[in-house]
Amino acid sequence: MTDREYIKDKKRIVIKIGSSSLVHPETGNLNLVRIEKLVRIITDQCNKGKDVILVTSGAIAVGVKALGLTKRPEDKAGKQACAAVGQARLMMVYQKLFAEYLRNAAQILMTKNTMIDPESRHNARSTFDELFKMGVVPIVNENDTVSTDEIELTFGENDTLSAIVAALVHADLLILLSDKDGLYTDNPDQNPDAKFIDTVEVIDEKILAMGKGPGSSVGKGGMSTKISAARIATDSGADMIITNAEDISKLGEIMEGKHIGTLFKAHKNIDFHLIDYISK
């Protein structure tokens, strides 16, 4: 038995995919082959009896393309308009693909206020639980369209949102699909001597120093946000894996316990309170 074979036994999984992994960099159009594979793998995990949540970015990027804009707007109103168009289009694609595999999908749009307010937080958790009972795949994104500060401030980006969702639903595994194979000692695009890190037992200052900023004009997150997400997930009792979305089929191999990506090991913090992380 490999030291990752226990991943097979994970029952509640949150998978996050970023904007840069959803579109073709050459055109900004949706990468439908990648999305279809993602939906198929998620559905197969559900067919095994697992609960899976998909946290997806991409609303603004899809909206920019749909509206024929040459670049992402810089003003808040422009971003929200793009999100309004893009979220509907993105959800339509997910709904269609999940339906092809006989699985229902539900849209859940969240804001920071949803998580700060105790009653809203309780209702959100109850909604997730009910959807799981019904065999539905919840698809989560931030509510960029009506927010006043979400796009820049809220959770920061969907790496953090996915970790908070994982903690909220008591998930035992969070997988971040990235444009990198995992965590390196330095930025591998700039430093050929950067070494890949297979497993992180403790997130200390040395690990935190390895975080780098965004490397894509499409997405907002960088390695630093992923390490921050790992702190939330592992403190809440969930393992977290960062892996490359380039070959999405490897997601299924990860669920079989293969050594793919960087594994951040859970270490349940008895003093963990989700609201403490949301308020930061």
Q: Where are the domains of the chain?
A: 5-278
Residue 79 CB-density burial (10 A; 0-12 exposed, 13-18 middle, 19+ buried): buried
Residue 152 confidence class, pLDDT cut points 50, 70, 90 = very low
Residue 219 confidence class, pLDDT cut points 50, 70, 90 = very low
Which is higher by pLDDT, 213 or 195? Answer: 195
Q: What is the pLDDT of residues 55-76, one digit of tens each?
A: 999 999 999 999 999 899 999 8
Q: Are 187 and 206 in contact (CB under 8 A)?
A: no
Q: Which fold has domain 5-278?
A: Carbamate kinase (3.40.1160)
The pTM of this model reads 0.91
Residue 275 confidence class, pLDDT cut points 50, 70, 90 = confident
In a 13 Å sphere around the CA of 26, the CA atoms on its Cβ side amount to 1
Angle at 109 between CA 134 and CA 153, to 5 degrees: 145
